[in-house]
Chains A and B, each alone.
Chain A
Amino acid sequence: MSARNVAWLGPTLAWIILLCATAAVAWLGLEASGRLRFGGALAIAALMLGTLAFGLVGVGRNPALLRLVAGAAFLFLALMFFLSFTDLMTRLR
């Protein structure tokens, strides 16, 4: 491949997945109910984040140090959610 060629196929596939996922979330909001809507919307959001991170941002191609920083951010977020909801559970009981 020439150096002046632009690799667009991967990002375009990721974009198509993201558009389909957006339509699926909208459908869930209009047609589904209860747990399907709640769980489905959050699961699709996670899929969209993964598609954005790996398909468009290219997290997988980054050096190990950058992946470590991103992973640390997710770990701290998970800890924050875990501790907060542990506190909530003790209050509700």
Chain B
Amino acid sequence: MTETALASRAPDPLREPWSDLSRQREAATLGMWLFLMSEMLFFGALFMAFSFSRALDPAAFAEAARHAEIAYGAANTAVLVTSSLTITIAVRAANAERATLATRLLAATALLGVAFLVIKGFEYRDDLRNHLFPGHDFALGENATQIFWAFYWAMTGIHAIHLTVGVALVLRLFWLVRGGRMSLASPQLEVTSLYWHLVDAFWIVLFPVLYVAVRA
């Protein structure tokens, strides 16, 4: 199907109660920013609790962090920043009414998100094999090292859940745009890209903090 045909088939993106699309876009973006602000405070509290615990026993945290695999973290960071590029250009392609390019880039974004989760799965498998899950058969000696790994599992797990939601949202957009069921002018593209960037931003902080900064 041609790009023009796709665009003409799509329903009008304007929704009640707005009278024009630019106001609707502004409201949707503001709503998403408010949601992102609450997420920033949620993750901020986690980072603060991590920093607080680390300040109480920096030596144990340094020893615990030595067992986090930098190669996995770096590979996942590269994958995620690449996905941020693809979704940014997808939104720009949609604004330029390039439906085919936009759908391809949305598909690439979702695939990169899945690649991140697969790499994370391999990392989790290695961590479990090395008994790095807090509990009775935890591999490292001191209690504070368990606290580090409890933070590791909680923070990376919550991030993975957010990313899974992001992949589902991007796949939904891909399906809608590809089938001509959504106009390229819809604010949903921009709002979803904001969410995706937030998930990327959390990882950009998680990687240096968990894998590198506190390492022995």
Segment from B73-81, B110-118, B122-130 that makes contact with A: B73-81
CB distance from B51 to the nearest CB of A (A): 7
Contacts of B73 in A (CB 8 A): 26
B30 and A29 form a contact (CB under 8 A): no
Contacts of B154 in A (CB 8 A): none
Which of A7, A19, A26, A84 has the largest count of B CB atoms less than 10 A from its CB?
Answer: A26
B197 and A84 form a contact (CB under 8 A): no
Neighbour of A52 across the interface among B33, B82, B204, B207, CB < 8 A: B204
With an 8 A cutoff between CB atoms, is B92 at the interface?
A: yes
- Chain B residue at minimum C-beta to C-beta distance from A7: B92
Given contacts A45-B208, A56-B84, A73-B40, contact A37 B29 (CB under 8 A): no
Q: Complex: how many Å from CA A49 to CA B208?
A: 12
Identify whether the interface residues of A are mostly helix, strand, loop, or mixed. Answer: helix
- Chain A residue at minimum C-beta to C-beta distance from B29: A66
- Interface digits, A1-37 against B, CB 8 Å rule (1 contact, 0 not)? 0011111100110110011001101101110000001
Neighbour of A72 across the interface among B37, B78, B98, CB < 8 A: B37
Contacts of A26 in B (CB 8 A): 70-71, 73-74, 212
A41 and B208 form a contact (CB under 8 A): yes
Given contacts A37-B212, A62-B29, contact A11 B88 (CB under 8 A): yes
Contacts of B29 in A (CB 8 A): 62, 66
With an 8 A cutoff between CB atoms, is B48 at the interface?
A: yes
Given contacts A42-B213, A49-B201, contact A70 B101 (CB under 8 A): no
With an 8 A cutoff between CB atoms, is B6 at the interface?
A: no
- Interface digits, A40-62 against B, CB 8 Å rule (1 contact, 0 not)? 01101100110011001110001
CB distance from B5 to the nearest CB of A (A): 16
Q: Complex: how many Å from CA A88 to CA B208?
A: 23
CB distance from A16 to the nearest CB of B (A): 9
B89 and A6 form a contact (CB under 8 A): yes
The 4 A-B residue pairs whose C-beta atoms are closest, nearest first, are A29-B212, A41-B208, A73-B37, A26-B74
19 intermolecular pairs with C-beta atoms under 8 Å apart: A4-B96, A4-B98, A8-B89, A11-B88, A15-B81, A28-B212, A29-B211, A44-B208, A45-B204, A45-B207, A56-B85, A57-B197, A69-B30, A69-B33, A69-B37, A74-B40, A77-B41, A80-B44, A84-B52
Q: A25-B207, A29-B70, A73-B36 are in contact. List 10 more A-B contacts (CB 8 A).
A: A6-B98, A25-B208, A26-B71, A29-B215, A37-B215, A56-B88, A63-B26, A69-B30, A80-B48, A88-B56
